[in-house]
Amino acid sequence: MAEPHAEEVIQGHANTAQTVDLELRPEEEAFLLSTTGLPDVDALKALIVRVQAEAAEAFPYPCIRRFDFVKLKMSRLPCYNRLLSLVKDDPDALLLDIGCCFGTDVRKAIADGYPAKNIIASDLRPSFWDVGHKLFRSNPATFPVTFLSGDVLHSTFIGMASPVYGAPRTPRPELRGLRELAPLAGHLRAIHASNFFHLFTEANQAAIARSLGALLAPTPGSMIFGTHVSRPKKGLRTEAPPPAPGYLGNRMFCHDAQSWTDLWDGEVFQKGTVRVEAEVLEQAREDLVVLDPGVKFYQLICIYTKDH
């Protein structure tokens, strides 16, 4: 989850998201208890609710109101074990979590063995990362993962390079002191982006995809993966009411599996140089106000892997 870019935010319908109760899957509960060091589930839920109330005051987005920030996304993707195997084969493999929100997914990856020194987390606002420290009862000294705040639509932050097919054009930068993503061009072995692309227009999704593609290392097995709101046929979502702040509602552009595949294999990367796996699945969304109770929502699960 990431904050929508300022150009995308529209004022409107105030009740796009229903009020929901905090519910944790067993693996989320176990992970959160372990990382926060709290003694029991009651104390954990009390902390989460406090953090949610504080965060919602500053960022009144539906994803915060429905506790998405404690939902594990990266580790539930089919390719997660492939990510963990990647760093076993390449101990220096760099991972970027773009649109990291409070940092829950990178903390889970670290708990599962991914080296913290190899991770870069990024989102638009540094205050998201600060809230993550409150949630996980940490600080920059106890959790020294590199965090970069910046706008993915600004070329000075993300760069304007083309995908790398040979040796990277620049040496791998030191993460300590890094201020932008641009110097990482051609050096990232894995990029995770979930609940992210659908926050942007079709044109901006393509622009961001090209920028992220340029950051990916040419090494076979390097991958970009994640999940986003989708449709069986690409187009604007029509099922949701006009948006609340930070929520695109019926202006949200959604790719389908084929259009998403075509974007990455042929537009972002040279045709045939990546393997794309994309699948659209129906998604239950009882938390959303909809115009017709019978409508369906969909998510796109995808991974793009450098073949050669």
H or E segment to which residue 146 belongs: strand 146-149
What's the Cα-to-Cα distance from 238 to each of 188, 234, 248, 290, 292, rounded to whole Å?
36, 11, 11, 9, 10
Six-digit token pair at 198?
A: 């659908």
Q: Quick one: tokens of 300?
A: 């796109």
**Residue 46 neighbours by CB under 8 Å, 6+ apart:** none
Identify residue 249 by its one-letter amino acid code.
Answer: G
Tally of residues, the chain: 308
pLDDT for 173 equals: 97
- Determine the Cα–Cα distance for residues 34 and 122; give it in Å rounded to an integer: 24
Enter the tokens of residue 107.
């903390």
**pLDDT digit string (tens) for the chain, length 308 residues:** 554 443 333 333 334 444 568 999 999 999 999 999 999 999 999 999 999 999 988 887 778 888 999 999 999 999 999 999 999 999 999 999 999 999 999 999 999 999 999 999 999 999 999 999 999 999 999 999 999 999 999 999 999 899 999 999 999 999 999 999 999 999 999 999 999 998 899 999 999 999 999 999 999 999 999 999 888 899 887 665 555 444 455 578 899 999 999 999 999 999 999 999 999 888 765 555 444 556 566 777 777 788 75
Give the Cα separation of 113 and 84 in Å (integer): 7
Radius of gyration of the chain from Cα atoms? 19
274 forms beta bridges with 306
Q: What does the alpha-carbon distance between residue 16 and residue 130 come to, in Å, rounded to a whole number?
A: 26
Domains of the chain listed by start with CATH number: 73-306 (3.40.50.150)
**Cβ distance 108 to 27 under 8 Å?**
no
pTM above 0.85, yes or no: yes
Dist CA 105 CA 192 (whole Å):
9
For residue 252, give the nearest of 194, 192, 202, 209 by alpha carbon: 202
The pair of three-digit structure tokens given for residue 19, joined into one six-digit string? 């009020």
Provide CB contacts within 8 A for 122, sequence distance 6+: 96, 97, 98, 99, 100, 147, 148, 149, 150, 152, 181
* Residues 284 and 53 sit within 8 Å (Cβ to Cβ): no
